[in-house]
Every structure is written in C-alpha cells, then in structure tokens.
A and B are shown apart, each in its own frame.
Chain A
Amino acid sequence: MSTQLKSETDKNFVGLRHIYKTFNLGSVNEVVLFTDFNLEIEKNQFVSVVGSNGSGKTTILNLLCGSIPVDSGSVFVNGREIGKLKEHERSRFIGRVFQDPSKGTCPELTILENMALADNKGSSFGLQLGVNKRRIDYYRTQLELLKLGLEDKLDLKVSSLSGGQRQALALLICTMTPLDLLILDEHTAALDPRSSETVMELTEHLVREKQLTTLMVTHNLKFAVNYGDRLIMMHRGNIVLDAGPEEKSSLQIRDLTEKFNEISIEDGN
C-alpha cells in the first residue's frame, strides 16, 4: 500500500487499520494471519479479492461484519470506528451476501414476506401488519429486475426456489435499503456457471445503480478480472497484488493465473 493513508475520521474512509489476528492462540494449530494489516477502500469502489485458501479473504469480511473479533486494530466504515458494535448492529449499514444461498433469505417464509421484512430494515418491528399491501407493486418491479419470473410467484415459499434464484433474491433483498458497504462472500461459488453469470451481472447492475462501496471475495478469477474497479490478491494474510482501475484494465486472466500459481507453489499446493 504505497498510497497516502487517509485520515481515519474522513467520512469516506472504509477499511481496516493495524489489524492483528491470530487463530487458535496457544495451541499447536496456532495461525498468525494478520500482523499490522491495512486495507483501505475508496467510497463507491467495487473491489474484488482473490487468493488461495487460508489467505485471509474471508477473515477480512468477518472482521468487517463483526462475525469474529479483532485481536487489536480498528475497523472503519465511513469514518466511524465500529469495532465495538455487535454483528447485528453493524448489519444496519453493512449488507452481506453469503456463499450459501439459504443464508440470505428465510426458506419458510414467502418471497413477499421476505421482501417485506427486508423493506422494514432499519425501522422497528412492531405490531403493524407485516406485509404492507401498498408496497407490493414496488416489490414486483424490483423482482422484475431479476428476470427470473419471480414477480408472479410472490406467495411462493423461498424454500422451493433454486439456488440461483435464491441468491439473486438474497442480493436484491440485501440492497433494498441504503448501505454503506456491501460484502459479497463468494456469493456465486455454490451456483452453476449459468446462474453465476446471471447473479454476477445482477451484482454489477445493482452496485453501479446504487453506487455501493463493495468488497467481493471470489475464487473465480474471470469474475475478478471482468468485474470491479480494483483487484486485490491475498496470500498468507498479506496483499501481494493490488491493481487499481488503470492497472486492472490491462490485467489479463493469464497474468493473474500465473501469479496465483506462483504463490500456490510456495504453499505446496
């Protein structure tokens, strides 16, 4: 990271500062992952992160979301230190789509009920009727964006949708309310190639339309190259490649694969 570090209180600042994280401390499986790790994301930037298993990609996401605590260091979103907030408190401004399509929606509720819940995010969940009939048309127009025909199946339980449909719905639901940061955790990894393409195009559309600051972890090098403004490659808790918008446009999958193989050989994979 050669760029000048931004002031931490800058309201555009999203990132991690001086992070230390060790797993299984004191046991034989002790893994020192991050030592003074820094990451800075520009506002409205779409960042893709690639890297081998155990390189710390998902840990970055978990630290940002608060699923796991930092050993020391600070986590910032829009210039605000959020280290003390619990996971569900951070969810009010951080959206996350998981690898597992069943995590982003409620299988036993209908599509309509799922959307009504998401629509109410940020307000109180009181004793008003759960589904506001006047919003149904809005939900329909939103679902039409997915081009999956779900707008005619509002009363269908989400459990009867396919993985690709669920993930598209999860993505839509996640971005319905304003977000400061969108986190995509290998969200196409569990889908077939065609569904992944559809979900990825939808991601691009939503991120651009709503101008979301986005951090996407992926194993798909093609997606990493084709989508997003910046590409980061992680290895053993360090950033080994950080390609900004200009550098990235000239980056080919071949270059990336070579680099990736280089670090994998180091690991003996």
Chain B
Amino acid sequence: MDIVFGLIRNVLEEGFIYGIMAIGVYITYRVLDFPDLSVDGTFPLGACITAMLIAAGVNPWLACLIAFLCGGAAGCVTGLLHVKLRITDLLSGILVMTAMWSVNLVITNGSAVLPFYNKDTIFTSGPAALLTGDAKQYRIVLLGAVCCIVVKLIIDLYLRTKSGLLLRASGDNPQYVISLGKDPGTMKIVGLVIGNGCTALAGSILAQQSESANIQSGTGMVVMALASVIIGTSLLRKVKWIRATSAAVIGAILYKACLVIAMQLGLPTNFLKLLMAVLFTIALVSNNLFAGRRKKQNVNPTQI
C-alpha cells in the first residue's frame, strides 16, 4: 500500500505543477486555437530565472511572479511575430523557442544546470515552513495544489471578464471581434502572454521543487501540455460541472500518472520521450474521433 501511496504522491507532486502549464496551454490551444511551440522555451526560462533570483537571495514568491512576467514577455514576442509580422503560428513559436535557448544560457551564465540547494524556496519557507510532522512530507503536493488552484481560479475569473469574453471570441470568431471594433490580433497577443506566463510559472515552481534549474527541461513540454489539455478536455467534455481549466489540470495529472505507471512497469528511461509522443498521438486521434462525432450532431444548419 505504501508503494501505491508513494506513487500517487509522486504523480500529484508533479501533476499539479504541470497542471499550471496545462491551464496556460489551454488558453492558447483551445481558447485561441493557436498551437504555441514557444512553451518549450518559456518553461526552462521560468526555471532559469527562478534559479538565478533565488541564488541571489530574492524572495521565492517574488521569483515566481518575475518568472510569470518574463514568460509573458516571451509570449508577447511570439504574438508580435505572428500578428504584426504575419509569420505563421507554428513558425513564430519555433522562432521564440529557439531564441529562448540562448536567452536561458545567458541567464544561467553558460551552465546547463543551475542548482540552488539549501536556499529558501516556496516549499521550505513562508507558510510551508509551518507544516510539521506527517504533513511535512506532503508539503510539495499541498503547495503545488494550492498554486494550481489559485492559478485556475484567477484564469476562470479572467475568462468571465469583458476582456476574457473578448479573448474567447477572438479564438472562436475573429470576425465578430472586428465587428465589435476591436483587433483580434491584440487579443491573440494577450492570450499568448497569459499562456506563456503560466508555463514559465510552472517552470519556476518545478525548479524550486527540485532545487535546481535544467536548461533542457523544456524539451517535450509542448507535447506534454497539449496532450494534457486534449486528454482532459475530451475525456471530461460531457461532465458539465467541470470547467475546462480543471479538465486541463486533471489531464495533466492523468498524463503524469501514465508516465509513472509505465516507468513502474519497467520501461527504460530512454523510452520516456517516445512514450510521450505515443501518448500524445493517442490523445489526438481519440480527440478527432470525439470531435467527429460531435460535429455530426452539431452541423451548421446552412450546410445540410
């Protein structure tokens, strides 16, 4: 039993943190219909900035905030490349992802791994330091869950504001946004800022959990985040009371669980990325099946 609990804890520890990234990618991929590859670069960006700041003695919560803002700035660049310079969505993401590699190296001063052991992180200082006894070993899960839920609630609230409604409209029907006298391109940039901000925040929190930043930690993040969003939203589509943001988080946890189970069953670590790609493929294919069924039910009456 202890092994099972240990595994569940392991899944949740990372699941909630990746959930924050999944919420961000939900905004870009599902709401805006923008497959944003810059996520691969902004995730380690958040980690590297956090490592640098915490090593310099900055408050870990402040480091989270700064990581969010820097991720947002990177997302803004993706948006500007796409909207103002009319580069396709995929290429804009690739460009920023590639550029981020160098930016991250500059931040870490050229080293691929930047450890910051025995410094204050959100898991060891502040409210987390008050946890004692048994609760202490669950502090990573608890804090991860709290951060994830806070981000989810803020994003849910934002999506109900005027700006949030406009954001949803610009992914859904840009022409409608134009008829409201607004530029859908601007809203696309706003969405990318939020999406990449959340991703960098996830990178920041994961770095604090492992007390080190790895410049290569971004590889495969796009695949992981997209798979989480697609798994979550297509599995839970029928459940009306679960919001899409929660579905994205649940998707991230399920995805992480699949990986952990595979590892436990003896899959060699070398095959991890292959497994991630396979899981993503399965998610995409099953999503197409779901979508196909849904489309048939909901045909535009003018096209029958």
A218 in contact (CB, < 8 A): no
Is the CB–CB distance between B181 and A107 below 8 Å?
no
B76-108 residues at the A interface, CB under 8 angstroms:
none
CB A146 to nearest CB in B, in angstroms, measures 16
B173 in contact (CB, < 8 A): yes
Most chain A CB inside 10 Å of its own CB: which residue of B158, B160, B162, B183: B162
Stretch at the interface among A11-19, A56-64, A126-134: A126-134
Is the CB–CB distance between A127 and B165 below 8 Å?
no
CB A10 to nearest CB in B, in angstroms, measures 25
Instruction: Bin chain B's interface residue count.
Output: 20 to 34
Is the CB–CB distance between A163 and B302 below 8 Å?
yes
The SS class assigned to the A binding surface is: loop
A105 in contact (CB, < 8 A): yes
Chain B residues with CB under 8 Å of A263's CB are: none
CB B229 to nearest CB in A, in angstroms, measures 16
B152-210 residues at the A interface, CB under 8 angstroms:
158, 160-166, 168-169, 172-173, 175-184
B270 in contact (CB, < 8 A): no
A98 in contact (CB, < 8 A): yes
A145-193 residues at the B interface, CB under 8 angstroms:
159-160, 162-164, 174, 190-191
Is the CB–CB distance between A109 and B163 below 8 Å?
no
A241 in contact (CB, < 8 A): no
Chain A residues with CB under 8 Å of B173's CB are: 102-103, 105-107
Complexed CA–CA distance, A103 and B28 (Å): 21
Residue of B whose beta carbon sits closest to that of A132: B162
Partner of A108, one of B164, B168, B178, B182: B168
B266 in contact (CB, < 8 A): no
Chain B residues with CB under 8 Å of A86's CB are: 183
Q: Encode contact with B along A96-130: 1 for CB under 8 Å, 0 otherwise.
A: 10101111111111000100111011101111111
Q: If A116-B165, A127-B161, A128-B162 touch, does A91 touch B301 (CB 8 Å cutoff)?
A: no
A92 in contact (CB, < 8 A): yes
Residue of B whose beta carbon sits closest to that of A94: B179
Q: If A103-B175, A117-B169, A122-B181 touch, does A190 touch B162 (CB 8 Å cutoff)?
A: no
Is the CB–CB distance between A126 and B298 below 8 Å?
no
Residue of A whose beta carbon sits closest to that of B163: A125
A88 in contact (CB, < 8 A): yes
Partner of B165, one of A88, A104, A113, A190: A113
Give chain B's interface residues, CB within 8 Å of chain A: 158, 160-166, 168-169, 172-173, 175-184, 298, 300-302
Q: Could you name 24 residue pairs across A and B whose Cβ atoms are closer than 8 Å?
A: A88-B178, A88-B181, A88-B183, A88-B184, A91-B179, A95-B179, A100-B302, A102-B300, A103-B173, A104-B176, A104-B179, A106-B173, A106-B176, A109-B172, A117-B166, A118-B180, A125-B163, A125-B165, A126-B163, A127-B158, A127-B162, A129-B162, A130-B165, A191-B302
